[in-house]
Amino acid sequence: MDPAVVTAGAGIGAQQRISAIDTNTRLRAILIGSAGNLVEWYDVYVFATFQFYFAGSFFTDVAPDRQQLYASIVFALGFVSRPFGSIIIGRMADRIGRPKALLLSILLMGVGSLIIALTPSAGLIGSVAPVLLLLARLLQGLGQGGEYGTSCTYLSEMSRPDRRGFYSGIWMTTNLGGQLLAVLTLLVLQLFVLDAGQLKQWGWRIPFMFGALLSFGFLLMRRTLRETEHFDTAKRAEIATGSWRELLRHWKALLLVVGFTAGGISAFYTYTTYMQQFLKHSVKLPEHETTLVTLGALLVAVLLQPILGRLSDSIGRKPLLLAFGFLGTLFTYPLLDTLHHTSSPLMAFMLIVVGWGIVSGYTSVTAVVKTELFPTAVRAMGVGIPYAITAAVFGVPWMASPSTSGRSCTTNRDSTGMPRRSSSALSSSIFSCLILAGIPKSNGLTDSKIGRYSLNRDL
């Protein structure tokens, strides 16, 4: 029998058991299950931001701009390793259970951060230092690749159907919370603890050590996670979970994940990891103003996620995605162009907040939109693998380009101050999300909720 049919038929009992879970237990499970998302983006943002301080410790005997270039390449290679993590950990989640996979993903991230924090400089151990840095970043990438699909799946299966959008917003809040925590760490170290010389000499190790401790703390908490009823029901029904053949039967859904990710992730990276460097090198705000503007904008973005997620529970996912696609296509270039030509921190903050208002139409529902496209048997793989591949393709240029050097951040630019052609490519990527969100239901979008396994029925 079709595994999707079996899953749907058995899902009523699973949903009844989920409804019996009290709200506090459900919320605790979802928050702990999403905690790795916080660690993931804390690690990403810390590496991207602090590489200006630690690059010289790992790459000696080369010019400073080359040190930044090599550190950026190592950073980008972490994204290249993500698809492998999504395959290994995603299949593990679909075959033996969500909690076990979540344990492995956060363990790998923690080990990676610990290696970076403890690795002696190249002046002491020579070429072993950059090799260890690369190893650590690859381990982080493996864990991060497995975290996305598995944590999205866990939150969707633990949530009540009529609150999945809200919990998707909470999930994205942990994502932005990781970046917010990284910015706060940078701000505290810059303003109150260390000077620039101390940060370059040894202070850059502090945020990585904190990231490792954060990972291991959440690892202990995740040991208490319960398995989802959806997975247990699929196992009792003897469905072939984690099957490649079953996954490929949902090839249209896989392509939809690629399309949604391509449109959304470029915009997301623009207003998160890239924006810090954009404000510093293209807008030319002072370092402390750059940090404060980024921090304030992220705080607003955090507040927007659960609000818009809850709205999607009422009006559906599709209106938010259509709004993101339409407004993002029209206003991305004007927003960035105006931002590039402003000199006021307040104006920069307001423009970024407007951008977040647009991008949040995607970010607040991204987790639940993708999980609702797949049945229980292949959900973690179906969400995680195409996302990780697309993130590697679209993420590497955004991750590597802004941080090679001050000189490279001010040359070969268009009128927005972005790398030439990047702003138009960003608008085109968002436009692809608009097209996909408008696909008629015969192509897989069954109603305004989006997805065959959507809010109006059990996962």
Number of domains observed in the structure of the chain: 1
Alpha-carbon span 276 to 348, nearest angstrom: 12
Distance between CA atoms of 147 and 341, rounded to whole angstroms? 38
Q: What pLDDT score does 447 carry? A: 37
Contact 332, 284 (CB under 8 A): no
Distance CA 165, CA 366 (A): 9
Q: Is residue 448 part of a domain?
A: no
Rounded to whole angstroms, the Cα distance separating 390 from 254 reads 11
Encoded amino acid at 314, one letter: S
d(CA 211, CA 413): 34
d(CA 64, CA 61): 9
Integer Cα distance of 175 and 364 in angstroms: 11
The 3-state DSSP class for residue 61 equals coil
Instruction: Indicate whether 280 belongs to any domain.
Output: yes
Flag whether 452 is in a domain.
no
The CATH number that applies at residue 264 is: 1.20.1250.20
Q: Do the domain assignments include residue 370?
A: yes
Q: Is residue 27 part of a domain?
A: yes
3-state secondary structure of 419: strand
Low-confidence stretches of the chain (pLDDT beneath 50): 1, 3-14, 16, 402-417, 419-421, 440-450, 454-458
> Which of 253, 259, 251, 252 has the alpha carbon at shortest distance from 432?
259
Q: Quick count: other Cβ atoms within 10 Å of Cβ 197? A: 10
d(CA 82, CA 142): 5
pLDDT computed for residue 42 by the predictor: 94
Task: Give the CA angle between residues 349, 353, 357 to the nearest 5°.
Answer: 175
Report the SS3 class of residue 334: helix
Q: 18, exposed or middle or buried, with CB in 10 Å at 0-12, 13-18, 19+?
A: buried
Q: 216 in a domain, yes or no?
A: yes
Q: Is residue 183 part of a domain?
A: yes
Q: Is residue 454 part of a domain?
A: no
Burial 221-254 (b: 16+ CB within 10 A, else e): ebeebebbbbbbbbbebebebbbeebbebbeebb
**Which domain range does residue 321 map to?**
3-443
Confidence at residue 60, expressed as pLDDT on a 0 to 100 scale = 87
Tokens of 392: 């590697």
